[in-house]
Amino acid sequence: MNLLEISDLIVRFGGLTAVNSVSLDIPSKHIVSIIGPNGAGKTTLFNAITGIYEPTSGRIYFGGGEVCRPFRWTTALTLALIGIIAALSLVLIVNVESLWDTAITANYAYQQTFLWSKAAGAVFRYFGEEPGRRVIIPFLIGALVGLAGAYAIWERSRRAPEVAARAGIARTFQNIRLFNQMIVLDNVLLGMDSRLRTRFWHAALRLPLYWRERQESEQSAMEILRFAGLDREAHQLAENLSYGHQRRLEIARALAMQPRLLLLDEPAAGMNPAEAQDLMKLIHNIRDRGITVLLIEHHMPVVMGISDRIAVLDHGEKIAEGTPHEVRNDSKVIEAYLGKDD
């Protein structure tokens, strides 16, 4: 069964086609590598999968469905609510001073009792005098602006990275992006965030749920750090870790999200052969936990050593796909890497 299915994906930036109708199936619980020369569109493909770039065309199916925020009835309700609030606010803003005069100033004598019913009657009369200019037009404009604005923001956030993350796609970055001013443990805890149930009031008042969840989450974060071999560094600032450990921490943070698919963007970059060996072991262990791994890598020993399948990109197009053995002997691949022999 395929966990990720990419069909005819095109990503264009202006005149540049970074990914040109790539189709790729990632079978569940496999390690699949994407290789290719620099500028072949590998990272762009990752960014399209994780919602950072919007595909120009093509479909990405993950676990049987598209990765995007569904339009539910709560969405419709929220949009409608924002529209109505914006409309009422505009009605209020347009009339605020005369409304205050008719309702409050006219009906209140210093330190006398104030009759709210009388004020409400005055408000109704005020709106009744010129309903078009005072209510209907500002209401319609406000509703239109509020609805359109809210819908535009919602539409643009449909494929946001957090949507992909919450669907179960975790990733690391080519240039490490850790939260440097946070300690290692907090970096991992952040990856767990979408599974935590603590809300603002639990945290502010330190209700029992906060304490329980804090203990549980720190425990499982420590387990993940142990798995990644970083448990001794748990309380150091992330920026103080060595390069290899920072790469591992990024993977640990991604694992904390309990993803079904893990995207690793050049995890072995800058590592020495021994560190790369360790990393291969780690990636194997991740796969054995039932997580599908999609990998971009230039380090050929790593790629050939761990991949179940390899896809080769060149100039945004997929030129070959198959087992490591097949890819190694593919004439197009040799041509892309070594040049054409005339």
Partner 1 sequence: MATRRTIPFHWSFLTVAALIPLIELAFPGNHHVGDLLRPIFIMAMLGLGLNILTGFTGLLNLGVAAFMAVGAYSYAILTCDIYPFRLGFWPATLVTVLVGLTVGLFLGLPTIRLRGDYLAIVTLGFGEIVEDLLKNLDSITKGTQGINPLPSPSVFGYQFRPETYQPWYYLFLGFLAVLVLLNRNVLRSRIGRAWISIREDELASSCAGINPMKMKLLAFALGAAQCSLAGALWASYLGSSGEPGNYDFQVSIIALCMVIVGGMGSIGGVLLGALVIMGFNSIVLETLTNYLKAHQLISSSNAFTAPGNWKYMLYGLALILMMRFRPEGLLPSRQVKAELHPLEPHAPPPSPSP
CA 291, CA 302: separation in Å to the nearest integer? 18
Does 104 interact with partner 1 (rule: CB under 8 A)?
A: yes
Q: Which of 134, 159, 171, 309 binds partner 1 (CB under 8 A)?
A: 171
Q: Which of 84, 173, 304, 334 binds partner 1 (CB under 8 A)?
A: 173
Of the two residues 23 and 258, which places its CB atom closer to partner 1 in the complex? 258
Of the two residues 100 and 124, which places its CB atom closer to partner 1 in the complex? 100
Q: Which of 44, 50, 95, 307 binds partner 1 (CB under 8 A)?
A: 50
Of the two residues 134 and 245, which places its CB atom closer to partner 1 in the complex? 245
CA 296, CA 250: separation in Å to the nearest integer? 15
Cβ pair 183, 237 in contact under 8 A: yes
Of the candidate spans 125-133, 134-142, 200-208, 300-308, the one that interacts with partner 1 by CB under 8 A turns out to be: 200-208
Q: Where are the alpha helices (DSSP H) in 50-160?
A: 73-103, 116-129, 131, 137-156
CA 113, CA 66: separation in Å to the nearest integer? 62
Please state the closest distance from residue 248 (CB atom) to partner 1, in A: 9
CA 154, CA 77: separation in Å to the nearest integer? 13
Compose the 208-227 pattern: x for residues touching partner 1 by CB under 8 A, - for all others.
Answer: --x---x-------------
Q: Which of 41, 55, 244, 267 binds partner 1 (CB under 8 A)?
A: 244
Q: Which of 233, 265, 266, 321 binds partner 1 (CB under 8 A)?
A: 233
Of the candidate spans 56-64, 205-213, 289-297, 316-324, the one that interacts with partner 1 by CB under 8 A turns out to be: 205-213
Contacts of 258 (CB under 8 A, 6+ apart): 168, 195
* Residues 266 to 295 in contact with partner 1, rule: CB under 8 A: 274-275, 278
* Cα dist from 11 to 41, 88, 125, 127, whole Å: 9, 42, 58, 53
Residue 46: its H or E element: helix 42-49
Binding-residue total with partner 1 (CB under 8 A): 68
Question: Around Cβ 143, how many Cβ atoms within 10 Å?
Answer: 20
Residue 106 gets which letter from DSSP?
G
Of the candidate spans 60-68, 136-144, 160-168, 287-295, the one that interacts with partner 1 by CB under 8 A turns out to be: 160-168
Does 237 interact with partner 1 (rule: CB under 8 A)?
A: yes
Of the two residues 196 and 334, which places its CB atom closer to partner 1 in the complex? 196
CA 33, CA 276: separation in Å to the nearest integer? 15
CA 330, CA 340: separation in Å to the nearest integer? 13
CA 191, CA 336: separation in Å to the nearest integer? 38
Q: Which of 7, 57, 78, 89 binds partner 1 (CB under 8 A)?
A: 89
Of the candidate spans 30-38, 56-64, 189-197, 302-310, the one that interacts with partner 1 by CB under 8 A turns out to be: 189-197
Residue 164: its H or E element: helix 161-167
* Residues 122 to 151 in contact with partner 1, rule: CB under 8 A: 149
∠ CA 179-184-176, rounded to 5°: 45
Of the candidate spans 92-100, 131-139, 288-296, 309-317, the one that interacts with partner 1 by CB under 8 A turns out to be: 92-100
Residue 127 gets which letter from DSSP?
H
Per-state percent for the chain, helix, strand, coil, to nearest 5: 55, 20, 30
Cβ pair 28, 324 in contact under 8 A: no
Helix-helix angle 116-129:73-103, to 10 degrees: 100
Q: Which of 42, 134, 159, 253 binds partner 1 (CB under 8 A)?
A: 253
Contacts with partner 1, residue ranges (CB under 8 A): 50, 52, 82, 89, 96-97, 100-101, 104-105, 107-108, 110-111, 114, 149, 153, 156-157, 160-162, 164-166, 170-171, 173, 177-183, 185-186, 189-191, 193-194, 196, 198, 200, 202-206, 210, 214, 232-237, 241-242, 244-245, 253-254, 257, 274-275, 278
